[in-house]
Amino acid sequence: MNVVHHLPALLVITPLVGACVAFVAGRRVAPHVALATATADVVLAVLFAARVLAEGPFRYRIGGWGAPMGIDLVADGMAALFIVLTSIVGLVVTVYASGYFRSTDPTAYGHGLFWTLWLFMWTSLNGLFLTGDVFNVYVCIELVGISAVALVTISGGPDALRAGMRYLFASMLGAMTYLLGVALLYASAGAVDMATLSERLVPDTTAATGLALMVAALVLKTALVPAHFWLPTAHASAPTPVSAALSALVVKGSYFVVLRLMLDVMPDGYLPGAATLLGVLGAAAIVWGSVQALVQTRIKLLVAYSTVAQIGYLFLVFPLARNGRDVLALALTGALVHATAHGLAKGGLFLAAGGLITRFGHDRLAEMRGAARAVPVLTFAVALSGVTMMGLPPSGGFAAKWLLISAALTSGEWWWAVVLVVGGLLAAAYMFRLVAILIADAPAETAPAPKPVRTEWLPLALTAAAVLLLFAVPLISDLAAASTTLQSAGVTP
């Protein structure tokens, strides 16, 4: 069997097998199973990205059936980028979690199930990034939702359960609305395969209503303002490794599908106003999320509201994408760089916040003054994540903003550039406030470190990667060029 040929299937099967083995392996062995699975997934993801870069987009027919009865996986540059991001953040989260759950009470409610649920979530995310049909998206997104909700509630405390319930209801509402949209779309076009849909789509009310419902449902799942109500509590009350995975990866999953639907499936001018509306909501998210982050008094809520703000940038690509293929290429590359930079930086920031909470024994910002003396590495990680979230050079966030601002100015729609600049200033305000508290000249009352914490270096590794991402921009640009979106728009790599 030629392994390279079956990479798309292996990317789904590997974490699935790992999850099942971790379930039967028991508490002691499960972390090692997860670590081995995560390492294997990183290798597969890199091989996969290399193959996409070399060959361009390709389809993989599971079992050789082919659409419409079989399930086709679509391998392109966009999928490869998100799969590599998931594998890198996933590996770091796995290593962090093995330390995190060792230091907590081993008999706690659901902690033994973390490894299985986490690998199930990884499986569904990889499936979501690879899927080529809108019904399979529903299945994958439900599986991501189910494992994510279970992970939020894993500690079994009242706050986590309440946040998990709210997350579950938002998730159910989103999934059901999405599925109704798929039904309407199938009624009109008679297909669920994305490539077939983009050919068959005619401007009739049934198909347009279906697509509008699907996009609205995904906006709810991505927590774009005003549908963000469930995110801050869910991301803040989860155990730290879960918070990092949710903010860095899970919101990107549903966003990825919005990209596919808006840019690949719908022809230009379909659903008039939708692109502008998504851009305006994105701008509102940047302002509202940042203002909320500024006034939070608990560190994890601050980080979660920062996610609400950063999600906003991702949606600026839609109004910009309508301005010809050069602007589309700039804007899409910018959005992909931003998604990657935010995934790395926010994963690192949540892990750093978790480290601070462990050290102080609470999450109240006001009482964390002067933490830098006790935990210099974590403080440095927080500061580095701030660099990329503000968009300061040199960092991945800077490159993302630069590309998006160039796209806005080239298209003549300069007001989006204003939004990007204001967003950077607001991010500076809430990140400076956080860093100022940590480096304040005050004796910090930390709990004595129980033992040397090796996991301190993991958040730093992620945030440093977000900064160094600047040098990987040409690579992301090549991956964007190898996406079905830019290939069908006629942009040559």
Partner 1 sequence: MTTYDVYVAGGAVLFALGTYGLLERSHLVHKVIAANFMGSGIFLVLIGLANRTPTPEPDPVPQAMVLTGIVVTVAMTALGLAIVKRYFSETGRTTLDADEKPGERR
Residue numbers at the binding site for partner 1 (CB under 8 A) = 68-69, 135, 138-139, 142-143, 145-146, 149-150, 153, 156-158, 161-162, 164-166, 168-169, 171-173, 175-176, 179-180, 182-184, 186-187, 192
State which residue, 164 or 386, has the beta carbon closest to partner 1. 164
- Least Å distance, CB 176 to partner 1, is 4
State which residue, 60 or 186, has the beta carbon closest to partner 1. 186
Distance CA 396, CA 463 (A): 10
* 3-class secondary-structure state, position 202: coil
Q: Which residues pair with residue 58 across a beta bridge?
A: 75
- Least Å distance, CB 140 to partner 1, is 10
Q: Output the CA torsion sign for 341, 94, 140, 142.
A: negative
State which residue, 228 or 338, has the beta carbon closest to partner 1. 228
Distance CA 86, CA 450 (A): 31
Q: What's the number of CA atoms in the CB half-sphere (13 Å) around residue 193? A: 15
Structural tokens at position 10: 């292996």
- Least Å distance, CB 468 to partner 1, is 39
Distance CA 396, CA 333 (A): 12
- List Cβ neighbours of 132 (8 Å cut-off, separation of 6 or more): 59, 67, 71, 72, 73, 74, 193, 194, 195
State which residue, 92 or 150, has the beta carbon closest to partner 1. 150
State which residue, 8 or 181, has the beta carbon closest to partner 1. 181
State which residue, 40 or 183, has the beta carbon closest to partner 1. 183
* CB-CB neighbours of 236 under 10 Å: 27
Q: What's the number of CA atoms in the CB half-sphere (13 Å) around residue 109? A: 12
- Least Å distance, CB 21 to partner 1, is 21
Give burial (CB, 10 Å; 0-12/13-18/19+) of 114.
Answer: buried
Distance CA 334, CA 384 (A): 20
- Least Å distance, CB 177 to partner 1, is 8
- Least Å distance, CB 361 to partner 1, is 22
State which residue, 100 or 135, has the beta carbon closest to partner 1. 135
- Least Å distance, CB 375 to partner 1, is 32
- Least Å distance, CB 144 to partner 1, is 12
Asked if residues 89 and 462 have their Cβ atoms less than 8 Å apart, the reply is yes
State which residue, 194 or 353, has the beta carbon closest to partner 1. 194
- Least Å distance, CB 200 to partner 1, is 14
State which residue, 171 or 455, has the beta carbon closest to partner 1. 171
- Least Å distance, CB 150 to partner 1, is 6
- Least Å distance, CB 187 to partner 1, is 5
Asked if residues 258 and 218 have their Cβ atoms less than 8 Å apart, the reply is yes
State which residue, 162 or 369, has the beta carbon closest to partner 1. 162
Distance CA 417, CA 401 (A): 9
Query: Which single residue is written with the structure tokens 């935990």?
Result: 375
Orientation of helix 324-360 relative to helix 376-390, angle to 10°: 160
State which residue, 137 or 476, has the beta carbon closest to partner 1. 137
Asked if residues 317 and 335 have their Cβ atoms less than 8 Å apart, the reply is yes
Asked if residues 118 and 150 have their Cβ atoms less than 8 Å apart, the reply is no
Distance CA 36, CA 269 (A): 47
